[in-house]
Amino acid sequence: MAEKEYDIIIVGGGPGGLTSGLYGARANVRTVLIEKYMPGGQIAKTDEIEDYPGFEMISGPELAMKMTEHAKKFGLEIVSDEVTEVYCEGEDRLAATASGDRYRGKAVILSTGGSPNLLNVPGEKEFSGRGVSYCAICDGNFFKNQIIAVVGGGDAAVEEAMFLTKFGSKVILIHRRDQLRAQKIIQERAFRNPKMEFIWDTVVESINGDTRVTSLTLKHVKTGEKSTVDVGAIFIFIGFVPNSNIVREGVEKDSGGYIITDARMETSVKGIYACGDVRAQLVRQITNAVGDGTTAAMAAEKRIEELKG
Ligand code: NAP
């Protein structure tokens, strides 16, 4: 248990946090980034990325590694720990961690992202890790030549479903409406993929199995008709909940729980900034997170300069 002093404390190592770290460290401001898992955030769990400028196609883990190495090269310190609370003491901003260490600085940047939404149906918790998954890149390989179901209709569901066609004998995408929410270019690619099948206007009522998932009970939302489909796995990509509850003083949020910031990425608590997926904004892309991270770090630097007089 120790108290460590920095200028900028970044919570979370996704693209937003790593970019803040790069800008902070490069400006010679004492900057630490605290991440409970591996740096990279959601991109570390994404198969292929083709919408990050400069890279026509790059694997998520590779981009995460490049961003991490880049920031470290300029002196960013990365600590493996979980931040449990962020709070204020006068003009100081502090982060308490699960290990008992405390980080004291003049600015905190929240880059805490979000956690996947659960379907909340019978069998989901019971079979989690035994056929129920929220990460294709982590678990796809376990289901070679099996029938894989994917739930959701957004970019994540469609892209991850296509990634899963590398493993499954077929991939059935189950969506609650008759139209996908995903970007058109992603949809078109999925419709052309011979291993993809679509079940429309349908929700999963339960996930069934013995020791592992063996089938799903489905319900057609328009007719109410129930059916069963045999699958070896179900991957759930139905959006996520922002991790926005660690500030003791409470920051202003929108109805979805996303943190509201001003144009400097500052939250309603002075000296606490937010960037990336945890922040309320129209889209949640890597490019946004990177832009947010830049602004947050530069705004934090200005605050530190002002406080130093
Ligand atoms: P999303 O865009 O919010 O889509 C969530 C999907 O899940 C929607 O199709 C929604 O259905 C469905 N859904 C929500 N709750 C459900 C429930 N209880 N039961 C069944 N279906 C449910 O989330 P996302 O796909 O995770 O994407 C999140 C953000 O990351 C987006 O901004 C996306 O653009 C971005 N992203 C981008 C890329 C990329 O550009 N390559 C890749 C991944 C993610 P409805 O359509 O009926 O609402």
| Candidate of 55, 158, 238, 290 to mutate for ligand 1, largest count of ligand atoms within 8 Å of Cβ | 238
Q: Residue ranges per domain, the chain?
A: 3-116+240-308, 132-236
Which protein residue has the closest C-alpha to ligand 1 atom 38?
155
Give me ligand 1 centre to Cα 146, in Å. 24
Give me ligand 1 centre to Cα 204, in Å. 16
HEC profile of 209-256: ECCCEEEEEEEECCCCCEEEEECCEEEECCCEEECCCCECCCCCECCC
Cβ neighbours of residue 172 under 8 Å, at least 6 residues apart? 147, 148, 149, 150, 197, 198, 199, 229, 231
> Which sign, positive or negative, has the C-alpha torsion 234, 240, 246, 249?
negative
Rg (CA), the chain: 21
> Which sign, positive or negative, has the C-alpha torsion 278, 283, 284, 289?
negative
CB 23 within 8 A of CB 294: yes
Give me ligand 1 centre to Cα 17, in Å. 22
- Specify the 3-state DSSP secondary structure of 99: coil
Are 3-116+240-308 and 132-236 in the same CATH fold? yes
Give me ligand 1 centre to Cα 9, in Å. 30
The Cα–Cα gap between 39 and 16 comes to 11
Pocket-forming residues, ligand 1, beta carbon under 6 Å: 51, 117, 119, 151-157, 159, 176-177, 181, 203, 237-239, 283-285
**DSSP readout, 148-173?**
EEEE--SHHHHHHHHHHTTTSSEEEE
What is the model's pLDDT at position 194?
Answer: 98
What is the model's pLDDT at position 51?
Answer: 86
Cβ neighbours of residue 309 under 8 Å, at least 6 residues apart? none
Q: Whats the size of the chain, residue-wise? A: 309
Alpha helices in the chain, H assignment, sequence order? 15-26, 60-73, 136-139, 155-164, 184-192, 286-308
- Is domain 3-116+240-308 classified as CATH 3.50.50.60? yes
- Specify the 3-state DSSP secondary structure of 118: coil
Bridging pattern class, strands 213-220 and 202-209:
antiparallel
The catalytically annotated residue of 47, 92, 135, 201 is 135
Task: Clarify whether 139 is annotated catalytic.
Answer: yes
Give me ligand 1 centre to Cα 303, in Å. 36
Which protein residue has the closest C-alpha to ligand 1 atom 2?
154
pLDDT, tens digit (0-9, with 9 covering 90-100), for 92-109: 999 999 999 999 999 999
The catalytically annotated residue of 7, 139, 155, 277 is 139
The Cα–Cα gap between 188 and 182 comes to 10
Which protein residue has the closest C-alpha to ligand 1 atom 22?
238
What is the model's pLDDT at position 240?
Answer: 85
Joined tokens for residue 154:
């957004």
The Cα–Cα gap between 110 and 99 comes to 19
What is the model's pLDDT at position 61?
Answer: 93
CATH of domain 132-236: 3.50.50.60
What is the model's pLDDT at position 170?
Answer: 98
The Cα–Cα gap between 156 and 47 comes to 11
What is the model's pLDDT at position 287?
Answer: 95
What is the model's pLDDT at position 120?
Answer: 97
Average pLDDT per consecutive 10 residues, the chain (309 residues; last block may be shorter): 96 98 97 95 85 93 97 97 98 98 98 94 95 90 97 96 97 98 97 98 98 98 98 96 96 95 98 97 91 98 95
What is the model's pLDDT at position 232?
Answer: 98
Give me ligand 1 centre to Cα 157, in Å. 7
Give me ligand 1 centre to Cα 194, in Å. 23
Task: Clarify whether 138 is annotated catalytic.
Answer: yes
What is the model's pLDDT at position 256?
Answer: 87
Distances from the Cα of 251 to the Cαs of 99, 110, 237, 257, 258, in angstroms? 24, 11, 27, 10, 10
Task: Clarify whether 135 is annotated catalytic.
Answer: yes
Ligand 1 atom nearest to CA at 159: 42
Question: In whole angstroms, what separates CA 177 from the centre of its chain?
Answer: 24
| Candidate of 117, 155, 202, 290 to mutate for ligand 1, largest count of ligand atoms within 8 Å of Cβ | 155
| Candidate of 51, 117, 285 to mutate for ligand 1, largest count of ligand atoms within 8 Å of Cβ | 285
CB 309 within 8 A of CB 113: no
